Chains A and B, each alone.
Chain A
Amino acid sequence: MTGVPAGTANSPSTSAVDGEREAAERLITVYIMGKAYEVPAEATIMGAIEYAGHQIIRGAGCREGYCGACATLYRLPGDYKIRAGLACMTLVEDGMTLAQIPSVPAEKAIYDIEKLRPNVSAIQQMYPTVFRCVACGTCTKSCPQGLQVMDYVQAAKRGDIAAVMDLSFDCVVCGLCMLRCPAEITQPLMAILAKRLYGRYLRKDSPELAERVKAVEEGVYEAEYAELMAMDREALSERYYARDSE
């Protein structure tokens, strides 16, 4: 394979602050699905699982906190609390016991968005379990994104679709809230429906968007396209570097 020239690929090299490098390589013990492994103290849970030699198939996706594939439950020594996090985002701690939960059983409702309306009855029809909420707040406590999950469930019960959209905007659908919910609500799935209802029905329409789409359909830009596409590289380059900027 190609060698990596130093200073180009930005991979770690030995230099700078050696003390901190050594600190970064300190090992701690974590229990992955019950089995003890020595892993770097500064690793994320995902990094630790891979350092232990596992090839993750389920339980890793985007690896940057957007996809929700790597939901993980864990406990720390001497602490009764079950904690929840994304494996790609959560750092290991000494004595941590962890299990990845890459899939949470849940049934998505099937619907025609064109036949629904952005109100409480859409929620009632599609995700009636929302109304079983006992307001215990476990969903909010288990959200690795720090979202006010219970608040958006309450908003859904009121039919406040805009509030559900806003409060659930950053949901990565890891499923930890619905796993922990004693009322067996499928919060993230309901929130996807609510966001779609908002986008489809409650948005403020953009007048210029409709005009632009119409102009394209009517071929308003065809002549200019033809002109640009007929230009040679030099003429195109001249036009490009001379263009004004907003």
Chain B
Amino acid sequence: MYPEYMEESLRKVVQTRPARLELARKPDPVYPPMSAEERRNVLENFHPDYKPDALRPVRVGPNRGEKLTTEVADLLESHSWLRSEQVDLDHPDIETDLLIIGGGGAGCNAALAAMQQHGIRSLIATKLRMGDANTMMSQGGMQAAVSRTDSPTRHYLDAIGGGHFENKPELVKALTEDGPGVVKWLEDLGVVWDKEEDGAIQVLHGGGTSRKRMVSCRDYTGAMIMRTLMDEVRNHPDMIDIKEFMPAVELIMDDEGRCAGAILYSMDSEEFFTVKAKSTLIATGGYGRLHIRGFDTTNHYGATGDGLVMAYRAGAKLMYMDSVQYHPTGASFPEQIAGFLITEKIRGAGGQPLNKDGELFVFPREPRDIEASAIIRECVQNGGGIETPSGRLGVWLDSPLIDMLHGEGYVAHQFPAMYRQYIRYGIDINKLPMLVYPSLHYQNGGVEINDRCETNIPGLYVAGEASGGLHGRNRLMGNSVLDYNVFGRRAGQAAGAYAKTVKLGKLSLAHLDNYEKELVDSGVQTDLVAPILLPSYAPKDVRKRQLVRGGNVLPGASVVHNRLQEDRSDA
């Protein structure tokens, strides 16, 4: 239940609701959408990326000198877990055609595509369990131009406008033209899409969409897709090998500059294994667990940007790593679920963000960076936020409107996860609004790829959230679910074809020595060892006592020391 002192504000929400319901029933927007100039203004003044210390130049690697998100620059200016001379590359522990790093949506799609289109065997190595990935957690849906009033080119225009016209066009074309085919491919695998009576796929709006384009599986969209893909992957044990709790910590190159596999680390036994692979796919997802600027995150436990670090040390170019996505609506109350994702589908179905006086202050479906910035502005500048007992701020997200708009039972059927999330704390979202604030959600940039998921390193492919270019500097809702399906499949196809022809040279880890030398030459002093693999949520005093073991120096053989997480803000 909400604390008593919020009652007056809640009463105002109820008072303004009939008028807002009337607005929502009309075809016009319930609040004027922003012009290009208004968008620029709210971003520059309130988006966290625009804070003076949000970015800094990275001092090493392919993007040297370029301003990146400060925490990303910190992560990249780090030491390897390995010394090249300690690794025996002449006798690889494992050999495979296609090594897929990451067992989420992109990885599973790639393994299936490589198998089906090229008869290629793959090995999926993943840090936690298969499916422990942001894919599992996407709630609201996937964009795909499947309705009669829509078209792939209209989807293209929405996506590229949402990304401030900085998206790589060839990637947006690939995304949007493959969309309908992905819906069909997943449906034939057995994904149960929400449907209309006549069999048409149900579509809803998302932020920044000019046509209803969000296809969904209630609010378990990602879970449904992930479990279907995993199940299919596991139906082919002879073609797809799975290694869980085995993250990659470095890429292996050959003496001609090709990527030739990776070194895996067993989370259980702390052993390292060398994998020689004809082609390698990084499908490691994003970095929410870096808690950039101290924000809570919607991301899964393993989202620590591992793929970025590995690829960067090997010489892969990054793109748009100065751009962070904050989801407009993360939970702000109760404290136990702070930062949790409140799906954009709530606004797609008619939910409205409101200030403490129960008034609308933004069009509910602006692109994400705009919507998030407007919520921050309302709280920080206009004093329109509601403060929680633990000192967080939030605005209301008026969910009771939804059943009023669509009929009783709609929320129960379309938002079972959201309902369940809140009723545990005595809040019935059919009767009460949710309190929300932006939460760290998505890595907009990543390793630059082309429409075949190739990078500037031959034999290295990247797909999904780890890649950069597709979303420009702002991704629209539902385009990441489509992203990992489209580009996971394209990666499997391209990497599979490449694996059939390539002849690898002598294996090498010289890039690690070079990178280490560059750190020294650039005057970087750090004791950070990356990939960090897992964040630590132990309280500060516990972590101090943990560090005694290593003399407060390199973490080396342990995963417990995440230096990027200064303050415990989750738990």
Residues of A that sit less than 8 Å from B by CB:
1-5, 7-17, 20-21, 24, 42-44, 46-47, 50-51, 53-58, 60-67, 69, 89, 91, 108, 110-113, 145-146, 165, 169-170, 172-173, 192-193, 195-200, 203-210, 212-213, 216, 221, 224-225, 228-229, 233, 236-237, 239-241, 243-246
Q: Is B81's beta carbon under 8 Å from chain A?
A: no
> Could you list 6 A-B pairs, sorted by A, with CB under 8 Å?
A46-B571, A61-B300, A199-B191, A209-B183, A209-B184, A228-B160
Within the complex, the shortest CB–CB distance from A119 to chain B, in Å, comes to 15
How many interface residues does B have (CB within 8 Å)? 120
CB-CB under 8 A from A17, the residues of chain B are 3, 5, 389
B228 touches A206 (CB 8 A): no
Across the interface, B301 reaches (CB within 8 A) one of A63, A108, A112, namely A63
Q: Is B96's beta carbon under 8 Å from chain A?
A: no
B132 touches A53 (CB 8 A): no
> CB-defined interface of B263-297 with A at 8 Å, one 1/0 digit per residue?
00001100000000000000000000000011110
A12 touches B417 (CB 8 A): no
CB neighbors of A among B388-402 (8 A): 388-394
Residues of B that sit less than 8 Å from A by CB:
3, 5, 29, 35-36, 48, 51, 53-54, 70-71, 74, 128-129, 131-132, 136-137, 145-149, 151-154, 156-158, 160-161, 165, 169-170, 173, 177-178, 180-181, 183-184, 187-193, 195, 198-201, 205, 210-212, 217-218, 220, 222-224, 227-228, 231-232, 234-235, 237, 245, 267-268, 293-296, 298, 300-301, 332, 335-337, 340-341, 376, 379-380, 387-394, 416-417, 420-421, 424, 437-438, 534, 536-539, 542, 546, 559-560, 564, 566-567, 569-571
Q: Which residue of B lies closest to A70 (CB)?
A: B301
Known: A199-B189, A203-B199, A212-B180. A243 touches B210 (CB 8 A): yes
Across the interface, B420 reaches (CB within 8 A) one of A62, A146, A212, A240, namely A146
B147 touches A208 (CB 8 A): yes
B335 touches A64 (CB 8 A): no
A24 touches B390 (CB 8 A): yes
A241 touches B35 (CB 8 A): yes
Whole-angstrom distance between the alpha carbons of A84 and B201 in the complex?
Answer: 36
Known: A5-B51, A170-B416. A61 touches B335 (CB 8 A): no
CB-CB under 8 A from A199, the residues of chain B are 187, 189-193, 228
B301 touches A60 (CB 8 A): yes
Across the interface, B293 reaches (CB within 8 A) one of A4, A108, A192, A206, namely A4
A67 touches B173 (CB 8 A): no
A13 touches B391 (CB 8 A): yes
Across the interface, A11 reaches (CB within 8 A) one of B71, B129, B132, B569, namely B569
Q: Which residue of A lies closest to B178 (CB)?
A: A216
B295 touches A10 (CB 8 A): yes
B137 touches A67 (CB 8 A): yes
